[in-house]
A and B are shown apart, each in its own frame.
Chain A
Amino acid sequence: SAVISQKPSRDICQRGTSLTIQCQVDSQVTMMFWYRQQPGQSLTLIATANQGSEATYESGFVIDKFPISRPNLTFSTLTVSNMSPEDSSIYLCSAAQGDYGYTFGSGTRLTVV
């Protein structure tokens, strides 16, 4: 199965600033996903990112707050914009791999102060 390199692994950011998280996959994948995991909670899907089209956002998430890029079949970024302490979470990217299921990056632990 594919391997996803996600960075940064953690960051502490000031409120009002933005952070861009990157995910690099070692093989081409059609569908990538971005999830948020708030402290002690399960994973919530933010959006689905397909190459060549705009990301599809889930209810409660908007492009202005979480812009996503998907320039090719091996790379995607998620930006958390105008951050507040409520954005403190773990953010994970994932890639769909057909029969292999879904592979996840190691996550970005974000703390907003």
Chain B
Amino acid sequence: GDSVTQMEGPVTLSEEAFLTINCTYTATGYPSLFWYVQYPGEGLQLLLKATKADDKGSNKGFEATYRKETTSFHLEKGSVQVSDSAVYFCALSAKGGNKLVFGAGTILRVKS
């Protein structure tokens, strides 16, 4: 079945450091890919998405590019802030399947 694999956390960075959170997926066909963020004590917020190969999703300085050849959707940010500390979930939705399949989540801690 469809699945998403994320790098394990926690990831601890200093403020203004470069962030990469790896995400790879397994799916039949060409799924839509998402990054969600969950701040402490809150629900999930959509961070960015991409619906086809080579699409780049971006929001709030975060970026991810849909790479069909490597079945990846890595999350990057050039300069993290303390306020970026949260749990980040990579997810996919298979075409026609509709439901979201989530990765395990990666805790990001940014220190000042």
A101-B34, A101-B49, A102-B34 known; A107-B102 Cβ under 8 A:
no
Q: Does A33 contact B (CB under 8 A)?
A: yes
Q: Does B103 contact A (CB under 8 A)?
A: yes
- The tally of residues in A whose CB lies under 8 Å from a CB in B reads 21
Report B-chain residues with C-beta under 8 Å of the C-beta of A94.
44, 100
CA distance A68 to B69 in the complex (A): 40
Report B-chain residues with C-beta under 8 Å of the C-beta of A103.
46
Q: Does A106 contact B (CB under 8 A)?
A: yes
Q: State the total of A-B contacts with C-beta under 8 angstroms.
A: 46
Q: Does A112 contact B (CB under 8 A)?
A: no
Q: Does A53 contact B (CB under 8 A)?
A: no
Report B-chain residues with C-beta under 8 Å of the C-beta of A31.
98
- The tally of residues in B whose CB lies under 8 Å from a CB in A reads 20
CA distance A43 to B98 in the complex (A): 15
CA distance A96 to B89 in the complex (A): 17
Task: For the complex formed, measure the closest distance between the CB of B102 and the CB atoms of chain A, giving whole angstroms.
Answer: 5
Report A-chain residues with C-beta under 8 Å of the C-beta of B60.
none
Report B-chain residues with C-beta under 8 Å of the C-beta of A92.
43-44
Report A-chain residues with C-beta under 8 Å of the C-beta of B46.
1, 100-103
| Residue in A closest to B101 when the chains form the complex, CB atoms | A45
CA distance A68 to B101 in the complex (A): 20
B-binding residues in A (CB < 8 A): 1, 6, 31, 33, 41-43, 45, 48, 92, 94, 96, 99-107
A-binding residues in B (CB < 8 A): 32, 34, 36, 42-46, 49, 51, 89, 93, 98-105
| CB<8 Å pairs between A and B, sample of 13 | A33-B99, A33-B100, A41-B105, A42-B89, A43-B89, A43-B100, A45-B100, A45-B101, A92-B43, A94-B44, A102-B46, A102-B100, A105-B43
